[in-house]
Amino acid sequence: MVFLYQIIFYQPILNALVFLYNTIAFNDFGIAIILITLIIRLLLYPLFHKSSHQNMMMQRLQPKIKEIQEIHKDNKEKQSKALMELYKENGVNPFSGFLFLLIQIPILIALYQIIQSNLNVSELTHLYSFIQAPNHINDMFLGFINLSDKNITFVLLAAIAQYFQSKLAIYKIKGVEPSQAQKMANQMAFIGPLLTIFIFYNFPGAIALYWLSSSVFSIFQQLIINKKLRDKYGD
């Protein structure tokens, strides 16, 4: 498992960071992090799209789900069968959205390990043969923000961006009362950012910058998904 983690996550992220730092990031580690965040989000967009689409479809189906639960409230077997048929008809998998969340965990761990190592000589032995090892990694962003230290500003901005993305992910249908799932999604729109502050408060600023950049990209990707769904269903 450790070997696979190194090959699939750690080494590609390390090499991409160093390559970007050496080239189009102009030796600015913060810009390199923003660029690699963009690359990661583009690579994960199919998963994000599927996760978001499934989540919003589940919200859209809530009235029918509630109706089925009422009709078969005394027969759990028939209720489960009817719900599965509903999901199949609409191409919905209630559990498919977790993959996007799970895959971000090893990415965060890899970034954290890379940043904590300060990209010392021993870490640079993991570089591919065609990636040149820099003499020194400057961990300053824009010349005055130390990304090795914690940065509450980045954390707060990431929480705000996450809140707006979470609100965008709530699928509202005109003239229809919010379902229980939508009410829970509204609650999570507040809980998620609070968890972000709690989790990332003591992390290096570089990790907070990654999460901030990722949250901002999520907003734009969510807007694209919302437009596609509105065009498709006209709700």
Our measurement of the distance from residue 3's CA atom to the centroid of its chain's CA atoms, rounded to an integer in Å, reads 24
Instruction: Give the pLDDT confidence score for residue 216 in this predicted structure.
Output: 92
pLDDT level of residue 160 (50, 70, 90 thresholds): very high
Token output for 235: 């709700």
Are 219 and 46 in contact, with CB atoms under 8 Å apart? no
Q: For 12-171, list the strands marked E by DSSP.
A: 140-141, 145-146
Total number of domains in the chain? 1
CA atoms within 13 A on the CB side of 108: 16
| Mean pLDDT, range 39-62, rounded to an integer | 80
- CA torsion, points 150, 151, 156, 159, in degrees to nearest 10? -50
More confident residue, 26 or 97: 26
> For residues 182 and 59, is the Cβ–Cβ distance under 8 A?
yes
Is the pTM value of this prediction over 0.85? no
Domain that holds residue 135: 2-233
Question: Does the pLDDT of residue 164 top 80, yes or no?
Answer: yes
- Is residue 195 predicted with pLDDT exceeding 80? yes
Report pLDDT for 235.
59
Q: Which of 14-28, 82-96, 193-207 has the lowest mean pLDDT?
A: 82-96
CB atoms under 10 Å from CB of 76, counted, come to 10
Q: Supply the pLDDT for residue 227.
A: 82
| Nearest residue to 93 (alpha-carbon basis) of 62, 51, 126, 147 | 51
